[in-house]
Amino acid sequence: MSTPFDTGILKNSEISYNLPMSGHISFRLGGAAARFVLLDALDAPALLRALNESGEKYAFLGNGTNVLVRDSGFDGTVIKLKADTPRVSGTRITVSAGTSLALLAQAAAEHSLTGLEFAHGIPGTVGGAVMMNAGAYGGEIKDVLVSTTYCTPSGDVRTLGAAEHDFGYRTSFFKAHPEYLILSAEFELKKGEQTEIKNTMAELARRRRESQPLDKPSAGSTFKRPQGYFAGKLIEDCALKGCTIGGAQVSTKHAGFVINAGGATCEDVLKLCEHIQKTVFERFGVTLEREIKILGEE
């Protein structure tokens, strides 16, 4: 049986070994991945099939904006899909799942297409946005998605229509099936006035800068919004703004963000998250669910 990294399997992709993941996740911390593949979509079927046949551990990575890597690293293969240039046809845009959501929104604006303004400041990739049904300022991915093309662990490439995605608040069919690799997505937008579209994007960017600690490494909102509450408000009401463990800190600008204030480790972040969860539950009886995924063994 071929190993996943025989030269005949990865024809268009790039592979690195023992790659520090601090340069690939937005928290800027964590250990190394044993193998890191910058994957061309054409290689996806063969790679996933080979990895599953071999039983080797692997994980998918977008922009690393909702991920922590253990300080001991990840003893497996991290797979990051290559980005591409969004392809526009009329009011439809098709793009690689590895492309940043911000780039997609900018491409839409350049073609005077409205519907993705909300996505301009969301730091993830298109694939991550589809999986999480990303949203902000009243817009969500489900509002504009037409279809998603993905690869199964057995190497089959399939397409899923918008109605089959089981979209909900920060969830989808792909959140329930993390073994599937999203390859590309197609969006339906509407014709708009370019100046108005860009002005809206600029205004939303201004609002983000004013309310969020964008100058510090973080994973964005650390906790999911509990039903009937706002995580940031609960944390602030517990007087936890500025609370620090090691190099991890609850942002003084927005309590819903745990930031790397300098030299933080994965363990620092996890300990601070646990302290926040415990404090909020003891005071309000509300369980905060962490939104951040973790790669690596405890």
Task: Judge if 239 and 257 occupy the same domain.
Answer: yes
Assess whether 267 carries a catalytic annotation: no
Q: Which of 210, 243, 262 is the endpoint of a domain?
A: 210
pLDDT of residue 298: 59
Q: What are phi and psi of 93, to 5 degrees?
A: -130, 130
CB atoms within 10 A of CB 163: 10
The enclosing domain of 158 has a CATH number of 3.30.465.10
What is residue 278's three-state secondary structure?
helix
Average pLDDT, the chain: 94
Does 137 fall in a domain?
yes
Tell whether 45 and 120 lie within a shared domain. no
Domain boundary among 55, 81, 107: 81
The C-alpha atoms of residue 9 and residue 141 are separated, in whole angstroms, by 33
What is the tally of structural domains in the chain?
Answer: 3
- Asked if residue 121 and residue 198 are part of one domain, the reply reads yes
Together in a domain, 107 and 189: yes
Q: Which of 170, 188, 225, 267 is catalytic?
A: 170
pLDDT in tens, 153-183: 999 999 999 999 999 988 999 999 999 999 9
Q: Give the pLDDT of residue 3.
A: 55
What DSSP state is assigned to residue 251?
Answer: -
Q: Which of 13, 221, 251, 290 is catalytic?
A: 221
Domain shared by 219 and 130, yes or no: no
8 falls within a domain: no
Give the model's pLDDT for residue 170.
85
- How confident is the model at residue 100, as a pLDDT? 95
Nearest-5° Cα angle at 15, 68 to 107: 70
| 159/140 Cα distance (integer angstroms) | 20
**Whether the Cβ atoms of residue 22 and residue 29 lie closer than 8 Å to each other:** yes
Would you say residue 34 lies in a domain? yes
Residue type at position 133: N
What is the distance between the alpha carbons of residues 79 and 97, in angstroms, rounded to a whole number? 12
Say if CB 131 and CB 172 are below 8 A apart.
Answer: yes
243 and 188 share one domain: no
Strands 74-81 and 58-61, bridge-based pairing: parallel
Helix, strand or coil, per DSSP, at residue 270: helix
Taking the whole predicted model, whether its pTM rises above 0.95 is answered as no
pLDDT of residue 2: 47
pLDDT tens-digit series, residues 234-258:
999 999 999 999 999 999 999 999 9
Residue 186: the pLDDT is: 98
Alpha-carbon distance of 294 to 292, in angstroms, equals 7
Residue 7 resides in a domain: no
Residue 195 is predicted with a pLDDT of: 97
Do residues 148 and 110 share a domain? yes
Are 119 and 205 members of one domain?
yes
- The verdict on residue 286 lying in a domain is yes
Assess whether 240 and 274 both reside in one domain: yes
100 among known catalytic residues:
no
Q: Which amino acid type is present at position 17?
A: Y
Q: Nearest-5° angle of CA 195, CA 106, CA 129? A: 130
Q: Which domain holds residue 31?
A: 14-81
> Cα(295)–Cα(298) distance, rounded to whole angstroms?
9
Active site residue 172: no
Residue 2: inside a domain, yes or no?
A: no
Q: What is the CATH number of the domain that holds 22?
A: 3.30.43.10
Same domain, 113 and 145: yes
Are 184 and 259 found together in one domain? no
Extended strands (E) in 70-154: 74-81, 87-89, 92-96, 113-114, 135-136, 139-140, 145-151
Give me the average pLDDT of each 10-residue run along the chain (298 residues): 61 94 96 96 95 92 93 96 97 98 96 96 93 92 98 97 94 94 98 97 92 92 92 97 98 96 97 98 97 82
Task: Among 193, 210, 227, identify where a domain stops.
Answer: 210
